[in-house]
Amino acid sequence: MGETKQNRTSQQKQRDALRNWRMGLEQVHERMGRRFARSEQRSRVLAYLKGLLSPVERKNGWQLAEYAGEQTPDGMQRLLSTAKWDADAVRDDLRDYVVEYLGASEAILVIDETGFLKKGTKSVGVKRQYSGTAGRIENCQIGVFLSYASPKGYSFLDRELYLPKEWAADAERRKEAGVPEQVIFATKPQLAQQMLQRAKEAGVPAAWVTGDEVYGGDRHLRMWLEEQEQPFVLAIACDEPLWCNVGAGPEQRRADELVRMLNPSCWQRLSAGEGAKGPRLYDWARGRLCRLAEPQWEHWLLVRRNISNPKELAYYVVFAPAETSLQTLVEVAGRRWTIEECIELAKGEVGLDQYEVRRWTGWYRHVTLALFAQAYLTVIRAQEAAGEQEKRGQTRKPRSCCL
């Protein structure tokens, strides 16, 4: 009898979970449905989302069409190419969805890029360039992404395709790939600034911005964030020149030179967050940098030192309220990995990199829908985790949305 009751309880939980997943997806579809004028398009975008969320091994046009019960991939291809809808408007819906369910004043905006390996020369923006995904120079496209890390979970907000200089200057290639006339060359940090600007204008709640050396090494991006009074912890290279007071007055020194001037008592052993093997412990220190006389704000050089190999150092430049603790800066720096995990799992779960489109419009449409699918998974899993915690009367830290 006990086993039968247990089985019934398990089956009921499964039915409840399926109902919640179905209702959640319907809400996502309803949210973006107004962006599609024709009922056929609205139905097909729902089928596309279901395909991205399905266990289909390769989420390209053919397999998504087969999963939807269609005889050819023509309908799916039209959705990404010639159908009339605005991917940027759906991106705005994505951002609002993430903020509604995951929004928190202490959240962190994380910027990073990833490579999409490609063959040939026709895919928009493709060239032989460094890909962090492959860890080497490859023939690939590069997408720059903005993600949102809050105590409720981690998800994407925005995306931009990096268009190399040779592409931006080649009228024939631009026309063939459908690059809009108003699009000009922009560096990765400039693309990041565009996305951060959109998030700011939309009122996205966030306490911090973080990113790797590509973004931390761009002084214009740092200055823009300061003008917005947006605190940040951005990674920099060891040779990044920084203004400091080391003699009679302000002068520039390399980051690695400034580390040698730190008092040994500055170092503290702190955790940058939980990892697969427990707390990610490092030795951390910070030193003040020069800035204008604004007592409520501070500039710091933040340094991370490997415990087992003290010569292994990582450097960050910080702009933050003067009362900010070292532990807080360490926690912000430790959140940068969240976007790497989100990108990895978006590729693995919802086919972020499995598109077969070559043109500008197709890239933005597929990537936007894939990010929305990932956000949906994030929200539904966060809700399930919160429900389980409530039942147990526990107050554990929420699961990462990307797990």
Task: Give 320-350 pLDDT, tens digit per residue.
Answer: 999 999 999 999 999 999 999 899 989 999 9
Angle 191-161-166 from CA coordinates, rounded to 5°: 95
What does the pLDDT look like over 173-193, one tens digit per residue? 999 999 999 999 999 999 999
- Residue 56, domain member (yes or no): no
Query: Within this chain, do residues 308 and 352 fall inside the same structural domain, yes or no?
Result: no
Q: For residue 35, is it within any domain?
A: no
Domain count, the chain: 2
Does any domain span residue 381?
Answer: no
Tell whether the model's pLDDT for residue 402 goes beyond 50: no
Residues 299 and 157 in one domain: no
Please check whether residues 157 and 265 belong to one and the same domain: no
**0.85 exceeded by the pTM?**
yes
Using the structure block, give the residue that is written with the tokens 């809808």: 85
Decide if 140 is inside a domain. yes
CA pseudo-torsion sign 323, 327, 330, 335:
negative
Query: What's residue 394's pLDDT?
Result: 52
Contact 218, 111 (CB under 8 A): no
What's the rounded Cα separation, in Å, for the pair 298 and 318? 8
Do 253 and 276 lie in one domain? The reply is: yes
Q: How far apart are CA 318 and CA 286, in angstroms?
A: 9
Q: How far is CA 200 from CA 76, 95, 191, 233, in A?
A: 34, 11, 14, 17
- Shared domain for 282 and 344, answered yes or no, is no
Query: Same structural domain for residues 331 and 347?
Result: no
Average pLDDT taken over every residue of the chain:
90
50-93: per-residue pLDDT in tens? 999 999 989 999 999 999 999 999 999 999 999 999 999 999 99
Q: Check whether residue 193 and residue 259 sit in a common domain.
A: no
Q: Coil, helix or strand for 344?
A: helix
Determine, yes or no, domain membership for 80: no
Tell me, yes or no, whether 1 lies in a domain: no
* Residue range(s) defining the domain that contains residue 135: 88-212+339-360
Do 347 and 330 lie in one domain? The reply is no
What pLDDT is attached to residue 15? 54
Residues 328 and 349 in one domain: no
Q: Indicate whether 285 and 300 sit together in one domain.
A: yes
The pLDDT confidence band at residue 399, using thresholds 50, 70 and 90, is very low
**Would you state the pLDDT for residue 8?**
52
On whether residue 75 sits in a domain, the answer given is no
Are 232 and 330 within one domain?
A: yes
395 pLDDT higher than 50: no
Same domain (yes/no): 276, 128: no
The answer to whether residue 400 sits within a structural domain is: no
- Which residue in 245, 239, 191, 185 sits closest to 215, CA to CA? 191
**What is the rounded average pLDDT of the residues 280-309?**
91
